[in-house]
Amino acid sequence: MTRALSAADVGREFGRTAEWVHKNWRELVASKKIPAPIIESGHVTWSAAQFYAFIDRKLTAAQRAAAAAYRIAENAATTPQDLDQIDAIAADRHILDQRFARGHSSGYRAHNPQVTRRGEGRQ
């Protein structure tokens, strides 16, 4: 899980944009809706542990555990590094699907007839 949250991360928690968070974070802190950020100048940044503990404080222990598990799973499924590579991965997957698709003469075996399936051909 990330250790720091940007304004964009905090905005996603509330269904808002990073710009909205930048404009309103002081008011949200003053009204005790979010904790104070650890960095207030430039790129406003919150401690992830402090932020989630603060917004989860009214949940039961079981609900806090479920929320934490959900966040970990979501973070594992959509890490920023992975999101940057999705287009490249999709393009590579498409190429591989075309290359190895059954019944296509453009497949790997069509260009490499010496390659056989396991248990076939070569003695």
Would you say residue 113 lies in a domain?
no
Claim to verify: residue 44 and residue 14 sit in the same structural domain: yes
pLDDT tens profile 38-75 = 988 878 999 999 999 999 999 999 999 999 999 888 87
Q: How far, rounded to the nearest angstrom, does the alpha carbon of residue 92 sit from its chain's CA centroid? A: 20
Q: Bin 105: left if φ > 0, else alpha if -120 < ψ < 50, else beta.
A: alpha
More confident residue, 35 or 1: 35
Domains of the chain: total: 2
Q: How many CB atoms lie within 10 A of CB 3?
A: 8
Would you say residue 117 lies in a domain?
no
Claim to verify: residue 36 and residue 69 sit in the same structural domain: no
Position 103 confidence tier, pLDDT thresholds 50, 70, 90 = very low
Greatest C-alpha distance within the chain: 78
The reported pTM is 0.58
Claim to verify: residue 76 and residue 45 sit in the same structural domain: no
Claim to verify: residue 37 and residue 67 sit in the same structural domain: no
Residue 9: domain span = 1-55
Report the candidate in 43, 39, 46, 42 with the shortest Cα–Cα distance to residue 14.
Answer: 46
In this predicted structure, what is the pLDDT of residue 27? Answer: 96
Claim to verify: residue 9 and residue 46 sit in the same structural domain: yes
Claim to verify: residue 42 and residue 68 sit in the same structural domain: no
Last residue within a domain, chosen from 37, 55, 73:
55
Give 67's contacts (C-beta < 8 A, 6+ positions apart).
52, 56, 59
